[in-house]
Amino acid sequence: MNYRRIASDGFWNNNVVFSQMLALCPLLAVTGTATNGLGMGIATLVVMVVSLLVVSLIRDLITPEVRIPVFILLIAATVTLVDMAMNAYTHELYQVLGLFIPLIVTNCAILGRAEAFASRQPVAKALFDGLMMGIGFTFVLVVLGAVREISGSGTLFADASLLLGDAFGFLEVTLIPDYRGFLLMILPPGAFIALGFILAAKRLIDDGIERRRERRAAAVQEGAA
């Protein structure tokens, strides 16, 4: 497992959502806008990195029989910290995301990475894996949030200053002025529909990459012959 592989796996090939299809409930629930997606993604990213780091640190101390409760406890403790921090520093966004921040505890992607990766890898790699998986998850949340926000209400990164501070107010764009709004995309069914189309797009891109690789391999073979 080299770092290059960990990075490409976390971000694309073994992406939490695209490939593992985990963590779908926060994904579908909070991605009404790109900003909400970004906030949720960053919160999950922090929890992921910290808990994977701790799990990897104590991986030789815990016996296999009790590992799941221990992982959950560690994750829960991290989530509580993130929860309090968000309440203190990004209070408005915290109110929007509401219950979904505490529910990061039950995010199966984090427990999944703790079990499958961090509990059997050295600290540096576990840390890096958590980072890349978190970035991959955040990426999907932002893309899905953006798709739903643009089609649903015609804006992008609305209320970004609530999350990132007033300096990032320039991110808030109204793409379609006087848009009537397509309510379905903001409602939960829109999340399923948009996610389906995004997954299809990912498959298409993978297909394209695969085909190009084959063509190159064929060209190399011809060159050798």
Q: Which residues bind other proteins (CB under 8 A)?
A: 180-185, 187, 193, 196
Distance of CA 131 to the CA centre of its chain: 10
CB of 178 to other proteins, least distance (A): 12
Backbone angles phi, psi at 89, to 5 degrees: -100, -30
Q: CA angle 208-210-215, nearest 5°?
A: 95
Amino acid letter, residue 129: D
> Which residues are paired to 156 by β-bridges?
173
Nearer to other proteins, 6 or 186 (CB): 186
Nearer to other proteins, 116 or 201 (CB): 201
Nearer to other proteins, 166 or 178 (CB): 178
The answer for residues whose C-beta is within 8 angstroms of residue 133's C-beta and 6 or more apart is: 10, 16, 48, 109, 113
Nearer to other proteins, 103 or 193 (CB): 193
CB of 182 to other proteins, least distance (A): 5
> What is the C-alpha separation between 145 and 53, in angstroms, rounded?
28
Nearer to other proteins, 69 or 196 (CB): 196
CB of 181 to other proteins, least distance (A): 8
CB of 31 to other proteins, least distance (A): 18
CB of 36 to other proteins, least distance (A): 20
The answer for residues whose C-beta is within 8 angstroms of residue 20's C-beta and 6 or more apart is: 14, 109, 112
